[in-house]
Structure 1
Amino acid sequence: MNKDKKADSFVGILKKEDMMIGDSITSALYQKALDGTWQRQKATSNNIANSETPGYKAIKVNFEDSLKAEVNKLQTTANTSGTGFLDKMESIQSIDNSNINVYQGATTSRLDQNNVDMESENIDMTKSVLQYNYLVRGVSDSYSRLKYAINGGK
């Protein structure tokens, strides 16, 4: 999973005329990705906390597919209809947490019917933390560029 490629794909909906206010669109996309990553961290934390609970089924979160589908839909609409900045922002804001796919694994290999694999959960947590930090850095860089422009390049 290439986080750079995944995060950068969210920025692909910008058109040249949006560049002055493009950071708002970029920041909105980053916010949606941060929300999904936070939901994944929460689910992974619950899995780790319940690793010894008999009958507990691990919870997994997938938000990238639905977010990417929304971004692709927005990009297609923008390319064919000349959608402006406000329409793009409204479309991005309409992406909500209901698009996050939360599911439980059905397989289990333990006698107590718990299917939490601590090694897998620790790897998932590490990946989520790194992805979250990368996204926060993207938001920070976006605001730094905006601040630089407001201050006249100083």
Structure 2
Amino acid sequence: MFKSSFNYFNLINKALDGSWMKNSAIASNLANVNTPGYKKETVNFEDVLRSEMNLNTGVPMTKTDARHIDPYNSGTITSEKVNDTSYRVDGNNVDVDVENAELAKNTIYYNSLVTEINGQYNRLKSALRINK
């Protein structure tokens, strides 16, 4: 029970980190909307989270050889530049409307994660208080 709870906490924390990184990338994109040649930055942390969730299916994974990939460190969240063609003459590929929509979506996602992790911590605190 506790092991699965802590895996869930770790998953939510990783999602919070990814959402925070995505928010920073969006803020950087919006700050550079008028910078000629600037290419927007994206953070796709959803794939890392999906692989983390697949690891938490209950099937135990063991590392039997030093050359094996560590199953509990499945991936890191990274950002990348999008070098697709720009519809602007100055080479900048940031679309303010798209970035603002992504910012709103990511803010809602981040706030829901914060609400969820606060609820989990409160349930854990209640369980610990009852067992005193």
- Counterparts of 1:23 and 1:52 in 2: how far apart (Å)? 45
How many positions carry a matched residue from both structures? 124
Secondary structure of residue in 1 paired with 2:30: helix
Q: 1:72 Cα deviation (Å)?
A: 1.2
2:37 to 29, 45, 55: 55
Match for residue 4 of structure 2?
22
TM-score normalised to the size of structure 1?
0.71
Match for residue 136 of structure 1?
114
2:20 to 26, 38, 49: 38
Query: What are the superposed Cα offsets for residues 99-142 of structure 1, whole Å, 9 maximum, x if unpaired?
Result: 43524141200111111100000011111111111111111011
Match for residue 150 of structure 1?
128
Q: 1:24 Cα deviation (Å)?
A: 1.5
- Counterparts of 2:56 and 2:130 in 1: how far apart (Å)? 32
Give the partner amino acid of 2:125: K
Gap regions ≥5 residues in structure 1: 1-18, 84-89
RMSD: 2.2
Counterparts of 1:1-154 in structure 2, within 5 Å, are 19-75=1-57, 78-79=58-59, 81=60, 91-92=71-72, 94-95=73-74, 97=76, 99-100=77-78, 102-152=80-130
Identity %: 36
Secondary structure of residue in 1 paired with 2:25: helix
Match for residue 12 of structure 1?
none
Higher helix share: 1
TM-score normalised to the size of structure 2?
0.82
Secondary structure of residue in 1 paired with 2:49: helix
CA contact (8 A) 2:40 2:82 kept: yes
Gap regions ≥5 residues in structure 2: 63-69
Secondary structure of residue in 2 paired with 1:60: strand
CA distance change for structure 1 residues 117 and 82 in 2, over 3 Å: closer, same or farther? Answer: closer
